[in-house]
Amino acid sequence: MLRERRDPRAMRTLFLTSYDRTGSSSRYLVHNYLEFYEQAGMECAVSPLFDDRYLGFGTLDRPTGIAEVMRHFPYYLSRVLNRLRHVLTSSKFDLVVFEKELLPYFPYGLEALLRRLQSKTIVLLDDATYVYYRQHPYRLVRFLCRHKIERIMGTATHVIVWNEQLARYARQFNTNVSVVNSGIDLRRYRIKPYQDGRVTLGQPTVIGWIGAPALFPYIRALEDAFRELSSRYEAEFHVISTCDYVSRSIRTVNKRWSIETEVDDLQSLDIGVMPLPDDEWTRGKSGVKAVQYMGVGVPVVSSAVGTATDLIQDGVNGFLATSTQDWVDKLGRLIESPTLRREMGLRGRQTVETTYSIQAVAPRLIKILQQVGTGN
């Protein structure tokens, strides 16, 4: 949404996001902070590359292919032209903040044009997108975009990343790099209403996961652990996503994700899980799943990978797992003890309140944007 300048003294900032508010990455990187920016005296305009119509195409369980683009070609063309229009008029703003890249799968170029027209730009990175392009299955994409993210980081005025792994990589190309924690809104993420420390007979313990269908392979790594747990305990697995997950190891309940029901679905969990393989891509992820579980007071068990090792103190505000036996043992401890679940969940909530909430993170982001936008 773009609007006319209200206060000539206010710093006018254009946010070029990947998605509208429904898209999770853009919501956590930009949309959640807009009210805080406005309260700090900034005038904010947001232009998503893809609006909510894109999220209804039904292809979110896999990367967008050529056939999908051609089927919706008028839509994609209109969105590309819309993005180009905002780049060409970017000089009207004091600062332009964009998410990862201006056009996915396109080679570096539009970002160079933006930098020529607008001297103050910030790029936001919550994933190791450079790894995605480097390892892409299509040779043409690898050729066109192999060094794209590195060039974007090198030409931006400032780079904001969501973990130290990304920061170490970004500093090879830009000395102006800031690390900011991912955050959730404490006003939305209410604490799970714990009743008491007793087990309700006949009620299974609910283990849960939230995320995009493209990440289902990460869950499959837990199938052996789920099989063992199912033989010992009354437990079921809830998946909050946009597609169904099928397991042969544990009774599974699929819940359709929506922004309206997200928090209620998270509160219905007894334990949240964040399984990750240990590779360059996952070490660059933001860990927001764990933050979401902890934000509603649900204890989390996560792979000991990347940001999770900073976020979670093993045995204090969550558990870290490095093997299938770890997953079985630590999930088993939580299944057996509702009291442990409550205590660990509430300690996780305290971690989020102090460090991983938008209320805690917003002041740092405001300071960075104002310094870059004013040149101070």
**pLDDT, tens digit (0-9, with 9 covering 90-100), for 111-141:** 999 999 999 999 999 999 999 999 998 899 9
Average pLDDT of the chain, as a whole number: 92
41: left (phi over 0), alpha (psi -120 to 50) or beta: left
* pLDDT (average), residues 250-275: 96
Domains 11-183+358-374 and 205-355 share a fold: yes
Contact between 123 and 152 (Cβ < 8 Å) = yes
What is residue 3's predicted lDDT score, i.e. its pLDDT? 45
Q: What is the pLDDT of residue 76?
A: 87
For residues 272-285, give the mean pLDDT. Answer: 95
**Phi and psi, residue 36, nearest 5°:** -70, -40
The pLDDT, as a whole number, for residue 63 is 58
Q: What are phi and psi of 15, to 5 degrees?
A: -105, 120
User: Does residue 199 register a pLDDT over 50?
Assistant: no
Percent of the chain with pLDDT over 90: 83
CATH number among 3.40.50.2000, 3.40.1650.10, 3.30.1340.30, 3.40.50.10490, domain 205-355: 3.40.50.2000
Predicted pLDDT at 340: 96
Which listed CATH number (3.10.20.740, 1.10.10.10, 3.90.226.10, 3.40.50.2000) goes with 11-183+358-374?
3.40.50.2000
pLDDT of residue 356 exceeding 90, the answer is yes
Find the DSSP H helices in 72-215.
73-88, 110-117, 129-134, 139-145, 148-155, 164-170
Question: Are 298 and 271 spatial neighbours (Cβ–Cβ below 8 Å)?
Answer: yes
Give residue-wise pLDDT tens across range 2-28: 444 456 678 999 999 999 988 889 999
Q: What is the pLDDT of residue 28?
A: 94
- Compute the distance between CA of residue 320 and CA of residue 310 in angstroms, rounded to an integer: 11
Higher pLDDT, 166 or 71: 166
Whether the pTM exceeds 0.85: the reply is: yes
> Domain residues of the chain, as ranges?
11-183+358-374, 205-355
Residue-wise pLDDT for 292-316, tens only, equals: 999 999 999 999 999 999 999 999 9
Indicate whether 195 pLDDT > 70: no
Angle at 341 between CA 336 and CA 346, to 5 degrees: 170
CA distances, 86 to each of 35, 92, 154 (Å): 22, 10, 22
Q: Is a pLDDT exceeding 60 seen at residue 58?
A: no
Q: What number is the average pLDDT over the span 251-266?
A: 96
pLDDT exceeds 50 at position 65: yes
